[in-house]
Structure 1
Amino acid sequence: MGVEEEFHIVDATTRRLAPRAPELLSGLPEGYVAELQRCVIEINTGVSDSLESLRADLQNRRSVLVEAASRLGLSIVAAGAVPLSVPAEMLVTPTARYRRMLADYQLLAREQLICGTQVHVGVADRDEAVAVAGRVAPDLPILLALSTSSPFWADGSDTGYSSARTLIWQRWPTTGLAAPAQTAAEYDALVDDLVSSGVIADAGMVYFDVRPSNSAPTVELRVCDSCPLVDTIVLVAGLFRALVTRELAALRAGIPPRGLTPPLGRAALWRAARSGLEGDLVDLTGPVSRPASEVVWQLVHSVRPQLEAAGDWDVVSELTRQALQAGTSAARQRTALRRRGRLTDVVDQLIAETAGRAPSPPSASEKDRTLLVGYHPTSSGDSAGFDEAIDHAGNPRPAYRELLAAIARLDVPALRERENNIEHEQRAEGIMFRVSGQDRAQVFPIDLVPRIISANEWSHIAHGVEQRVRALDAFLRDVYTEQAIVSDGVVPLQALDRASGFRSTGRLVGNALRAHVAGVDLVCDRAGNWLVLEDNLRVPSGVAYAIANRRLLCEHAPELASPADVADLGHVAEMLRETLRAAAPLHSQDNPEVILLSAGWEDSAWYEHSFLADQMGIEVVRPSDLSVRDGKLFRHRNSEAIAVDVVYARMDEDMLLSTSDHSGAPLRQGIREALVSKKLSIVNALGNGIGDDKAIYPYVPDMIAYYLGEESVLEQVRTWICAERDQRDYVLDHLGDLVVKPVDGLGGRGVVIGPDASDAAIEERRRELLTQPERFVAQEMIALSTHPTFEGDGLYPHHVDLRAFVHLRPSTTGPVAHVVPAALTRVAARGTRIVNSASGGGSKDTWIMRE
């Protein structure tokens, strides 16, 4: 056996492709060669007669390459493609052959930013090599599936495929299934005809998925992506050698080859490239579609006699188990992106795996059917954290026993398949989230392990959040009118002066209800107590994602569908519609006109906007669809102008008031007039940002006592207001132990978590606190609870929070609160405590249990 491996050369700093192969080759020994693109380099192993010697050869040659690259500030990646490329800067290796290829094939040559692995197995007789190439063709899709490592394309986009390289590769005119030839003479005649046609320049451009080698007495497998893990190549080589051995024996015994039509063979290859091991593969004995793990094991067992004869059975069977357990490189790359939301993390993982620095898969003796082997509730970074599903002995808590047993019965490959299917549907339906500063929307990952909130817990939470939102609404109405709470010394006047969310626009609606739709973020501490972390009174998002999580989990993982005693989400959109209708001005028509106002598809939560509007049966409009006439707002559709009573504003106040209307005139003055004349309601009211202000947050328990005459049901996190000199000094003295946040920060931006922060970050925040203390608050470090989260190869503890939603509707006796029976659980990336999607966070289906 022998192997040819192609590698991407990337800059160690930017992680982008670097066209520096000539420079790198000058410092390497023989066996390292140039490829078409100058950002690619190839190695050729020696001849090995055992899998152990092949592994050692691969590891040694990789080590030499990686070390030589590091001296030049470069890194090496073995993968079908890398997601951080700059195609415009790519250069073709300046040989006559490659220059001609560029001239003849243009786009194909320019976009050849892909790498593959070729495996050679010795066959001395060339007639037999040609015949065997055709006979092994039906099994090649399985070998491709094992190797898939190119889910992302050069611009960083997720292609939706496990092997995008296959799609690029198959565009060349001489790729595809084995040549339709039975002897060397027939094969050579076919190649001569292809060269004579002028479509290819030489025999070296015959790129069949399996072929007799042009330079060695071997059968050459060419269908696989480059493989980050050496063990993947060893597994593919062991299986390919066994297949060749089996088919040689069958050929000599006169056994006819298995039939394979080109369309079916191409379909099977497409299926493998589409989903790798994370979906179904085509079982060509049917043909039928079957789970990948079943098809792979069927192949392995079919060549067991050949594997045992070569002494390879133990190695190949264990590597097969590990491959199915760990998943494809494509799946691991997507998991890396979900952890942080950064493509650089994907490249870093590929670099580590290529260099042999990645963690080894668990051995068979460590495998545990509960998927909780090695699960440590405190392994997320807290020395004494609280895990909601697993006790400190590592056993499932009673509420989770049945659920975790169902997850274990599915096992890792099936869970990855379901995760993969969910992600594909999210992309197809546009269930995405656009992070500020990023060019494209990304999937908001859904974890497969639902979170369970008991009926007693939810009763406590619901009581606490409705109390809190009623008090905050009273504060907003008061602070924009009489300011009694300030006069009575409960909230200091300077707190209003410092609050960036305290706006003159807040006075436009007087004493009317303001917090129609609120979101309250809660966390569970190490004692299992619920604490309020933040309030969201401007444009709280997330309820549509909670609904989508439930539906997608039910459709694609029915084994994990919510039981009957979980609160139904079917009426959530109807609740929102009724809340918006109830917000209509007093003199509105019986059937008020309600619209959802959005910035459009560029908005981070565009999916939620379109979904909620569709479910409520209302229109989504942009500011350019509106106009104001005689103190009344109108939306324009074709040539029709329709009067609007309620605007559900899903955009920032500053953006709304700085936009232009249907005719291009500024909207600001018209909106103000419509609000003052009480001909329009905006949900939520303008000026609500002061209720979100983190420097106002410490006073909420006092508000509850002042306005409601009640004690707080829910505790909140101890907070220091850095604008107060004595509190700032305390924060400076304990900076390494506290969480310091901007008072107007969103999405986790600007948060410094003392125990996790670098010395440089701590010192930078110290300078900011000394010069601009009013910009920050500090909070006590809370050991957020963790929850089992699937990461492609098992369950790991991730920090979680919970967003609960409260609606307020007006009545003759004051605002009436309605707690929505849907909550959004957000999941932090592994090893972090920040749950926002901007930091790579995801979400879970949240089961709110009924009485």
Structure 2
Amino acid sequence: MEEEFHLIDLETRRLTSRAGDLLEALPEDIYVAEMQRFVIESNSAVFTDLAELRENLLHNRRLLTSTAERFGVGIAAAGTMPLSMPTDLQVTESPRYRRMLADYQLLAREQLICGTQVHVDVADRDEAVRVAVRLVPWLPLLLALSCSSPFWSDGTDTGYASARTLIWQRWPTTGPAAPVGSAAEYDELITELVASGVITDPGMVYFDVRPSSHLDTLELRICDSCPSVDTIAAIAGLFRALVDREVGRMERGEPPTQMSAPMARAALWQAARSGMEGELIDPESHRPRRATDAIEELTAGLRPQLEAAGDWDTVTDLVTRALHIGSSSSRQRRVLRRRGLLTDVVDLVVAETAGQPSAAPLPSAGSSLLHGYQRLDREELPEAGPPVHDEAVDAGGRPRPAYREILAAVDRIGPVTLRRTQYAVERELGRGGVTFRVSGQDRPHVFPLDLVPRLIEADTWARLGDGLGQRARALNAFLRDIYAGQEIIGDQLIPPELLDRAPGFRSVGRMPSWQPVRNHISGFDLVSTGPGEFMVLEDNLRVPSGIGYALASREMMGGLGADIPMPAGVRPVDGVPAMILETLVAAAPPAAGDEPRIAMLSSGSADSAWFEHTMIAERAGISLLDTDDLVARDGVLYALRRGREERIDVLYVRMEEDMLLSSHDAEGNRLRSGITRALGRGNLALVNALGNGVADDKAVYAFVPEMIRYYLGEEPIIPQVPTWLCAERDQRDFVVANLDQLVVKPIDGYGGAGITIGPAATEAELEERRRELESNPERFIAQEVLRLSTHPTFDGSGLFPHHMDLRAFVHLRADGEAIDSHLVPAALTRVAPAGSLIVNSSRGGGGKDTWVLGGDPA
């Protein structure tokens, strides 16, 4: 076997051109240079025993790893690495490689890839040529096992499990196998290719399976370099068995498995696209087939050859392990989602190459996917206090009664099928545009959906409806008051300087005074701290998003989701778009009449919630506009549709108000004056109202319980997190003194940005935050570190506890003088990456389908 390894600078996590230094310190009969100076190739000895080959591979990796560490270099066995740029390119100084760079330019510069080659002994080169053609239909299955290159050198997720395959196949002399029948014909073909000037020597013939140029072997070249030695050893055993089987069939005069050249290319492309997590093209039927099923059937079909070689037990064990842990590509993507850091991907590959386990160990027969569940990462939690509440699993590791059937179904499905189903679900979400942007990355990612749903009991949901409706009405009263008489300040319930410091307090918030409801659609972020116990963490009254993710999650679970039983009485969510439309109609101004004209305004496809905008507009039956579609004239707002002007009575605004008011309409006029004039004359309602950002302020949040008492004369039904205002000197001093035990947030922050979680922060991070609190204390608040509840979340190989929150949505509608609240039956459960308390998708989190009980079982 020949394995190619990337050389990684352990400080920067980027490729480093240190091959020359390492090769001087390594045995030259094992390690050799490649075209790029940040790649080293390792050559195994020759073995008849597969177990001995595996040990040799491990020995060679250990020697390479320990030698490289002396130079500050890590070893990465993967098809591509995500933190390598073309500027890193340094070609090995030899005439052959310099000529290849000069002749092939882009192809050589993009050769930032590594592969693995397997040589199997054959009788002679004639046999090698004939067997190579017969192996073509089976090559995609071996590629699928090895896939380890989901990212390109700039960190972009390519959408493929093996991007290396796409890059490799650009060379002019690639393809499944040479279409010839003898060694003489093969040599003649190579001579013609060299004579054509397209290639310079026979070594540049890069068929996926080919006769060796200097040995009587058949060489497999299709596979990515793979961090798991077990997976590579499984491929070696399967390849040898395939060669043995085809030699035997050929000697008996049996025809080969037929696959046309176009179909063979399509099958390789499909394997590169999906890896082990999707479907492959069946070698015999040429129809889509689950990759895991195809690989298991291949292994079983090779049993006679594997037993004859003494490999049956070893290969079946290695294949089982490979299917259990999944492809390296899927593991790399999962680790990226945890914190959104590409350095974590590099660290994972380096660690696995060095021999650290790829995933959780194989469960014993009959064991549950909860077998490792008690290993909860509590690094971000203070030591004191009650244990973390898990909503589905009790302290003894047993499913709670409401979750018994759900978790039993998850066990029956098993990790391999769950991983495949999750892959299929995420592909459908990608096709539907259900994406988000991880902080620091330009391209959107598919919203990760975990397949283990969350249950909320009917009585808990009813209490949330009462408490959140109460909170929404109190905040609405606060917004109306604060932009009018400011009686709450006059009565000294909140300090006047609170508004001076609030970035969301705007003069435009005074428009319109006639509007009884300002926060028509509110989003509340809640966390559970115990059975049926919730606390409000944040209020979102500007442009609350997330309902589209909730609807998409339910559709995926009902469509491509795993076969998990849904209890009777789960509230349906398909009526949510109609509910939104009812709320928009109720918001119409007096001049609108009985049939108000409604539209949604979006900032366009670049918005992270664009799919949600299009989904709601389509299902609610309202127009979706951008600012170029608007024109304001004589105190009325119009939409330009197909050359006609259509009056707008209610505009559902799904963009930030600063962007809205600074934009121009279709005639080049600033929208600010046109919109405020229409609002003032009672010709337009905005959902939600301008200036609502003051109620999102995290310092204002601290006074919401007082608002409920002041405006409603009621005690708060749902508690909120104790909060310190750092603008107050005594409170700031307390926060600074206890910084390592508190969460500190910017008052205008969102998406988890700028948060310091004391118990998880480094001394340098705490010191930097301490300086900020001393110089600009008014910008921050502090809160207790909550013990957010956890929930079983599928991490690729088993179920593990992840923290989560809940975003619930409340609609307000005016009914005469009264204001009614309506809790939307679709809620978004956001799941934090492993070991984190930050659930926001922009920080690498995901979601779960939320099953709210209490609906009509019929």
TM range (shorter): over 0.9
- State how far apart, in whole Å, the 1-side matches of 2:493 and 2:59 are: 71
* 1:735 Cα offset (Å): 1.6
**Equivalent position of 1:515 in the other structure:** 519
Query: What displacement does 1:388 show?
Result: 0.6
- 2:629 and 2:437 map into 1 onto residues whose CA distance is 23
Alpha carbons 2:415, 2:796 under 8 Å: kept: yes
Counterpart check, 1:467 vs 2:465: no
Q: Which residue matches 2:184?
A: 185
Kept after mapping to 1: 8 A contact 2:363/2:371: no
Q: Match for residue 477 of structure 1?
A: 480
Q: Secondary structure of the equivalent of 1:525?
A: strand
Query: Is 1:690 the equivalent of 2:694?
Result: yes
1:415 aligns with 2:418: yes
Query: What is aligned with 2:276?
Result: 277
> CA–CA distance in 2 between the matches of 1:528 and 1:754?
27
Do structure 1's residue 221 and structure 2's residue 225 form an aligned pair?
no
Higher mean alpha-carbon deviation, 738-747 vs 34-43, is at 34-43
For 2:19 and 2:354, the matched residues in 1 are separated by 18
Task: Read off the aligned partner of 1:333 and give its amino acid letter.
Answer: Q
SS at match of 1:141: helix
SS at match of 2:818: coil
SS in 2 for 1:416: helix
**Matched residue SS, 1:810:** strand
Q: 2:793 aligns to what SS in structure 1?
A: strand
Shift of 1:114: 1.9
Within 2, Cα distance between the matches of 1:364 and 1:264?
A: 38
Map residues 185-584 of structure 1 onto 2, 5 A cutoff: 185-359=184-358, 361-363=360-362, 365=364, 368-376=366-374, 378-379=376-377, 381=379, 384-435=387-438, 437-510=440-513, 512=515, 513-526=517-530, 528-557=532-561, 559-560=563-564, 562-584=566-588
**Structure 1: stretches of 5+ with no match in the other structure:** none
- Which residue in 1 is equivalent to 2:13? 15
CA drift at 1:564? 4.9
1:554-597 deviations in whole A, cap 9, x for unaligned? Answer: 22125137455211111111111121122121112432222222
Q: Which residue of 1 aligns with 2:710?
A: 706
8 Å contact kept, 1:380–1:798: no
Name which of structure 1's ranges 435-444 and 418-427 shifts more when overlaid on structure 2: 435-444
Report the CA distance shift for 1:641/1:256 in structure 2 as closer, same or farther (over 3 A): closer
After TM superposition, the structure 1 = structure 2 runs for residues 623-662 of structure 1, keeping only pairs within 5 Å, are 623-637=627-641, 639-662=643-666
Task: Report the CA distance shift for 1:363/1:438 in structure 2 as closer, same or farther (over 3 A).
Answer: closer
Describe the superposition over 1:656-713 as per-residue Cα deviations: whole angstroms up to 9, x where unpaired: 2222232333322332222222222111111111111111112211211211121111
Task: Return the offset for 1:254.
Answer: 4.4
- Give, in whole Å, the separation in 1 of the partners of 2:763 and 2:315: 47
CA shift for structure 1 position 288: 3.8
Matched AA of 2:369: L
CA distance in 2, matches of 1:411, 1:161: 24
* TM-score (ref. length: structure 2): 0.94
Q: Which 4+ runs in 1 deviate beyond 6 A? A: none
Given residue 613 of structure 1, which amino acid in structure 2 is its aligned partner?
A: A
Shift of 1:455: 1.0
Native 8 Å contact 1:377 1:391 kept in 2? no
- CA distance 1:245–1:474, shift in 2 (3 Å): same
| 1:464/1:713 contact within 8 Å kept | yes
Q: Which amino acid aligns with 2:6?
A: H
Shift of 1:457: 1.2
CA contact under 8 A between 1:434 and 1:603: conserved in structure 2?
no
1:315-374 CA deviation, whole Å, 9 max, x = no partner? 211111111110001111111122222222222211211222345641453x55531111
Q: Deviations over 1:203-256 (max 9, x none)?
A: 112222111111222111111111111111111112212222333344444444
Mapped partners of 1:439, 1:243: distance in 2? 44
CA distance in 1, matches of 2:640, 2:281: 52
In the alignment of these two chains, the number of paired residues is: 848
- Structure 1 residues 258-280: Cα deviation after superposition (integer angstroms, max 9, x where no partner): 33433333333233222111122
The DSSP-based 3-state class of the residue aligned with 2:810 is: strand
Q: Which runs of 5+ in 2 are unaligned?
A: none
The equivalent position to 2:729 in structure 1, one of 725, 729, 748, is: 725
Identical positions, percent: 56
1:177 to partner: Cα distance: 2.2
Find the counterpart in structure 2 of residue 148 from structure 1: 147
Find the partner of 1:618 among 615, 622, 631: 622
Q: Distance in 2 between matches of 1:343 and 1:617?
A: 41
The DSSP-based 3-state class of the residue aligned with 1:587 is helix
Q: Report the alpha carbon displacement of residue 527 of structure 1 after superposing the two structures with TM.
A: 5.2
Spell out, residue by residue over 1:8-65, the C-alpha distance to the aligned partner (whole angstroms, 9 max, x if none). Answer: 2333333333444445444443133332334333222222332333223222332333
User: Are the counterparts in 2 of residues 377 and 385 from structure 1 also a CA contact under 8 Å?
Assistant: no
- Please tell me whether the aligned partners of residues 789 and 796 of structure 1 are also in contact (alpha carbons under 8 angstroms): yes
Partner of 1:789: 793
Change in 2 beyond 3 A, CA 1:554/1:565 = same
Report the Cα distance in structure 2 between the residues aligned to 1:676 and 1:263, rounded to whole angstroms. Answer: 66
Between 505-514 and 778-787, the greater mean CA deviation after superposition: 505-514
Secondary structure, counterpart of 1:544 in structure 2: helix
- Of 141-150 and 40-49, deviating more is 40-49
**Normalising by the residue count of structure 1, what TM-score does the alignment of the two structures yield?**
0.95
CA distance 1:20–1:622, shift in 2 (3 Å): farther
- CA–CA distance in 1 between the matches of 2:377 and 2:584? 44
Higher mean Cα deviation, 26-35 or 468-477? 26-35
> CA contact under 8 A between 2:409 and 2:565: conserved in structure 1?
no
Mapped contact 1:378–1:386 kept (Cα < 8 A) = no
**Structure 1 residues 441 and 412 mapped into 2: Cα distance closer, same or farther (>3 Å)?**
same
Distance 1:561 1:649, change over 3 A: farther
Shift of 1:511: 5.6
The question of whether the paired residues in 2 share the 8 Å contact of 1:477 and 1:511 is answered with: no
Counterparts in 2 of 1:530 and 1:495: CA distance versus 1, 3 Å: same
- Give matches, 1:116-135, under 5 Å: 116-135=115-134
What is the DSSP-based 3-state SS (H/G/I as helix, E as strand, rest coil) of the residue aligned with 1:17?
Answer: coil
Asked if the contact 1:595/1:647 (under 8 Å) is kept, the reply is: yes
- Describe the shift of the 1:46–1:544 C-alpha distance in structure 2 as closer, same or farther (beyond 3 A): same
Question: 1:7 is matched by which residue type in structure 2?
Answer: F
Whichever residue aligns with residue 105 of structure 1, its letter is Y
Q: 1:535 to 1:777 in 2, by over 3 A?
A: same
SS at match of 1:715: coil
- Taking the aligned partners of 2:287 and 2:430, their CA distance within structure 1 comes to 26
What is the one-letter code of the residue matched to 2:804? V
Q: Is the 8 A contact 1:341 1:840 kept in 2?
A: yes
Deviation per residue, 1:384-427 (Å, 9 max, x gap): 11111111111111111111122222111111111111222222
Distance 1:216 1:364 in 2: 42
Give the 3-state SS of the residue equivalent to 2:786 in structure 1.
coil
Contact 1:596 1:618 in 2 (8 A): yes
Decide which moves more: 463-472 or 723-732. Answer: 723-732
| Residues 438 and 844, structure 2, Cα contact 8 Å, conserved in 1 | no
**2:637 touches 2:675 (CA, 8 Å); kept in 1?**
yes
Q: 1:469 to 1:705 in 2, by over 3 A?
A: same
Output the CA distance in 1 between the equivalents of 2:818 and 2:521.
16
